[in-house]
């Protein structure tokens, strides 16, 4: 019989950092609300949730790394909304944010969750910020809880 290790969905006693981009705040504020609500509903203490606002998604990885390295948090949740415009800027922002967030987790060993919505248009972003397709902030918080609990068991 194999030994199974898995993260449970209790945030009790776990400490969370949330890095959220102010660009497209109409969307990112909804992602943030979803994340905080989910952490609270899974018994996270409000004193154990710290939110840092950054100008845009491109700035998320730097602040996420600083928070992950601080030894103050069991997981870092990264929230943003990158919506394609009329130039290739979208591609550069998305690439750097996704690579940067992944690198923070791997380099620090702190679960760093990619909760950045990357969409072709505003409608798709709205659908993923608490409407038709759910809330990506909620999804990111759930992943953070599971990963933080799993890592403290390994
Ligand atoms: N177009 C979007 C941006 N662009 C701004 C960058 O993220 C960055 O702040 C700027 O290039 C300065 O370094 N940011 C988003 O979060 N979402 C967008 O749709
Ligand atoms: C994702 C972006 O950077 C984008 O919103 C910027 O718009 P544009 O490509 O029209 O400059």
Model pLDDT, residue 129: 98
Q: Which atom of ligand 1 is nearest to the CA of 28?
A: 16
Structure tokens at 109: 């060993």
The predicted model gives 145-149 an average pLDDT of 98
Q: List, for residues 1-51, the tens digit of each pLDDT value.
A: 999 999 999 999 999 999 999 999 999 999 999 999 999 999 999 999 999
Model pLDDT, residue 100: 98
Could you say which DSSP state residue 1 is in?
-
Q: List, for residues 107-134, the tens digit of each pLDDT value.
A: 999 999 999 999 999 999 999 999 999 9
Chain centre to alpha carbon of residue 105: 12
Q: What is the ipTM of this complex?
A: 0.97
pTM above 0.95, yes or no: yes
57 assigned binding-site residue: yes
Cα 151 to Cα 22, 43, 92, 146, distances in angstroms:
30, 18, 31, 9
Does the C-beta of 56 come closer than 6 Å to ligand 1?
yes
Contacts of 59 (CB under 8 A, 6+ apart): 21
Find the ligand nearest to 92 CA. 2
> Ligand 2, residues 81, 89, 92: which to mutate, most atoms within 8 A of Cβ?
89
Model pLDDT, residue 107: 98
The predicted model gives 56-79 an average pLDDT of 98
Q: List, for residues 83-103, the tens digit of each pLDDT value.
A: 999 999 999 999 999 999 999
Chain centre to alpha carbon of residue 145: 11
Model pLDDT, residue 57: 98
Write the DSSP assignment of 9-78 as a string of letters. Answer: S--TT--EEEEEE-TTHHHHHHHHHHHHHHHHHTT--GGGEEEEEESSGGGHHHHHHHHHHTT--SEEEE
Find the ligand nearest to 22 CA. 1
Cα 140 to Cα 17, 24, 76, distances in angstroms:
12, 18, 10
119 assigned binding-site residue: no
């Amino acid at each position: 019989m194999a030994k199974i290790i898995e993260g449970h969905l209790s945030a009790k006693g776990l400490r969370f950092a949330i890095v959220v981009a102010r660009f497209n705040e109409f969307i990112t504020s909804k992602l943030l609300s979803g994340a905080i609500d989910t952490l609270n509903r899974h018994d996270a203490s409000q004193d154990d949730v710290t939110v840092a606002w950054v100008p845009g998604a491109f700035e998320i990885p730097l602040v996420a790394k600083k928070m992950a390295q601080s030894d103050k948090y069991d997981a870092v949740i990264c929230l943003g909304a990158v919506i394609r415009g009329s130039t290739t800027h979208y591609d550069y922002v998305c690439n750097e944010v996704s690579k940067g967030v992944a690198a923070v987790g791997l380099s620090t060993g702190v679960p760093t969750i990619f909760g950045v919505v990357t969409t072709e248009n505003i409608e798709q972003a709205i659908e993923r910020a608490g409407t038709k397709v759910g809330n990506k902030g909620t999804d990111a918080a759930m992943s953070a809880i599971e990963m933080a609990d799993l890592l403290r068991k390994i």
